[in-house]
Amino acid sequence: MKKRIVFVANYFYPDFASTGQLLTELCLELQKEFEIVVIAVQPEQNKDKKTRLFEEDYLENIKIVRVKTPEVVKTNKLSRLRFIMAYFILSTFALLTIKKIDTIFTISSPPVLGGLIGTIGKLFKRSKHVYNIQDFNPEQAEAVSYTDKKWVFDIARRIDNWNCKQSDHIIVVGKDMQETLSNRFRGHNVPRSTVINNWTDEKEIIPLSKEHPRVKRFLEEHQLQNQFIVMYSGNLGLYYDLENMIKVTDAFKDEPCLSFVFIGDGAVKKSMQQFIKEKKINNVHFLPFQPKEFIKYSLNAADVHLVVNQKGIKGVSVPSKIYGVMAAGKPVIGVLEQGSEAQRLIEESSCGLVVEPTDYIGIIKSIRTMYEMERHDINEMGIRGRNYLEQHLKKEISITKYKSLLVTV
């Protein structure tokens, strides 16, 4: 009889959030060895429909229990809190109603409470708990000064440390994050952990020329032909300093052959757009998230990609977008702290340039350097990233590590 694993993840197929895509791909592979149940929020397209608090769904052999949560306005803290608490309460209830659970797999989203669901579930269901930390909190919230109430961070850290202690195994997505875990416990009685990198499907996202029909059509639709394109594709959220980084585009507003393209949505998008409007910068374009099946073409429309993190995020999270960029064979300008996981990948693969966060002059210089490089050299830089990914970061490698760990647990 197959062992039953219950995944508690706020986003799952068909949601486009990066963790949702990763866990969907992971579960599709694991369903061969395990009986999989997923607890997730109802997808965005169902928000306006009349649905019950709990809806059952299936993806192949994966049973999905979808919980109904209030719509979240990302710029509104109260709205975020309402969403998080509804998700926490409903997901915990759904978990406790499932019979016979061998392993509970939770992720670190929503912050702290994601892990707490697993801790509660383990206590009541007498199962194993694997805690997948995609982002360390409250460290992430502290880095952006989400609140000035230090006691909130202290309580959150104590709860999450308890989650870590109670878990049977912790998975982190970068070597620098494993160091953060050790530092939390000051090197003593550190919970067992394994580093398993996130991934992209390197068979799905491959290097394509700008002359590829779908890439060419994308460029034509957005009037980006014959442009050197600096692209950011992903969440325009709080943890990337994008509301300040957008200001570097002012240094290039008189470059007729250079364009910036920001693909995505998030809490700081409006402030970014407001800056562009006020400065009358015409070579910056904002586009919505692209359909999953089209991302391989939009990524290949760029000449260079921005992969960024806020200062203070080293060891706290890893920007997953770097895997897609490397798969597409595009060079990277990394706005990243030294010693961070993404910085290490860029350095080891020699696929780009790295600048410290808040070094806006350095970012301008790096963009200028890439813009002035010979076409052959910039292509070679991108292909080095692709080669490194094929050797060390293939989807199959990470999923095999997950399978082995879950069998052992």
Each residue's pLDDT tens digit, 176-229: 999 999 999 998 999 999 999 999 999 999 999 999 999 999 999 999 999 999
Residues 21, 80: one domain? yes
Q: Tell me what pLDDT residue 28 has.
A: 96
Total number of residues shown for the chain: 409
Are residues 409 and 169 in contact, defined by beta-carbon separation less than 8 angstroms?
yes
Residues 59, 186: one domain? yes
Residues 70, 173: one domain? yes
Residues 191, 95: one domain? yes
Residue 361 phi/psi, 5-degree rounding, is -65, -40
- Give domain status of residue 204, yes or no: no
Q: Tell me what pLDDT residue 292 has.
A: 82
| 369 or 187: which leads in pLDDT | 369
Task: Give residue for tokens 């694991």.
Answer: 30
Residues 292, 303: one domain? yes
Whether residue 248 has pLDDT greater than 90: yes
Whether residue 239 has pLDDT greater than 70: yes
Query: What percentage of the chain reaches a pLDDT higher than 90?
Result: 85
Residues 88, 178: one domain? yes
- Give domain status of residue 205, yes or no: no
Are residues 365 and 248 in contact, defined by beta-carbon separation less than 8 angstroms?
no
Two structure tokens written together for 286: 């904002």
State the CATH number of the domain containing residue 339. Answer: 3.40.50.2000
Q: What is the pLDDT of residues 132-141, one digit of tens each?
A: 999 999 999 8
Burial class from Cβ neighbours inside 10 Å (0-12, 13-18, 19+) for residue 195 reads middle
Q: Assign 253 to helix, strand or coil.
A: coil
Residues 246, 384: one domain? yes
Whether residue 146 has pLDDT greater than 90: no
Domain count across the chain: 2
Residues 236, 190: one domain? no
- Give domain status of residue 207, yes or no: no
Burial class from Cβ neighbours inside 10 Å (0-12, 13-18, 19+) for residue 107 reads buried
Q: How far is CA 44 from CA 10, 11, 62, 78, 318, in A?
A: 12, 10, 20, 19, 25
- Give domain status of residue 288, yes or no: yes
Q: How far is CA 330 from CA 58, 210, 324, in A?
A: 36, 12, 9
Burial class from Cβ neighbours inside 10 Å (0-12, 13-18, 19+) for residue 66 reads buried
| 239 or 381: which leads in pLDDT | 381
Q: Tell me what pLDDT residue 74 has.
A: 67
Q: Tell me what pLDDT residue 402 has.
A: 97
- Give domain status of residue 379, yes or no: yes
Q: In angstroms, rounded to a whole number, what is the distance separating the alpha carbons of residues 110 and 141?
A: 12
Residues 21, 167: one domain? yes
- Give domain status of residue 206, yes or no: no
Whether the bond into 213 is cis, omega within 30 of 0: no
Are residues 326 and 389 in contact, defined by beta-carbon separation less than 8 angstroms?
yes
Two structure tokens written together for 31: 């369903």
Q: Tell me what pLDDT residue 81 has.
A: 87
Q: How far is CA 163 from CA 123, 137, 368, in A?
A: 11, 12, 46
Task: Give residue for tokens 């990948």.
Answer: 345
Q: What is the pLDDT of residues 27-41, one digit of tens each?
A: 999 999 999 999 999
Q: How far is CA 360 from the centre of its chain?
A: 24
- How is 142-187 classified by DSSP, letter by letter? HHTT--S-HHHHHHHHHHHHHHHHHSSEEEESSHHHHHHHHHHTTT
Residue 209 phi/psi, 5-degree rounding, is -75, 155
Give the amino acid at 344: R
Residues 235, 380: one domain? yes
- Give domain status of residue 42, yes or no: yes
Q: How far is CA 33 from CA 28, 198, 199, in A?
A: 10, 21, 21
Q: Please give the average per-residue pLDDT across 271-283, as a whole number.
A: 96
Q: Which is nearest to 108 in space by CA: 141, 64, 72?
A: 141
Two structure tokens written together for 116: 């707490």
Q: Tell me what pLDDT residue 45 has.
A: 61
Confidence class for position 24, pLDDT limits 50, 70, 90: very high
Give the amino acid at 140: Q
Residues 226, 354: one domain? yes
Residues 243, 103: one domain? no
Domain that holds residue 319: 213-392
Confidence class for position 15, pLDDT limits 50, 70, 90: confident
- Give domain status of residue 119, yes or no: yes
Q: What is the pLDDT of residues 44-84, one digit of tens each?
A: 766 566 678 999 999 999 999 999 998 877 667 788 889 99
Q: In angstroms, rounded to a whole number, what is the distance separating the alpha carbons of residues 233 and 261?
A: 8
How many degrees, rounded to 5, is the angle at CA 390 between CA 26 and CA 307? 80
Are residues 191 and 178 in contact, defined by beta-carbon separation less than 8 angstroms?
no
DSSP 374: -
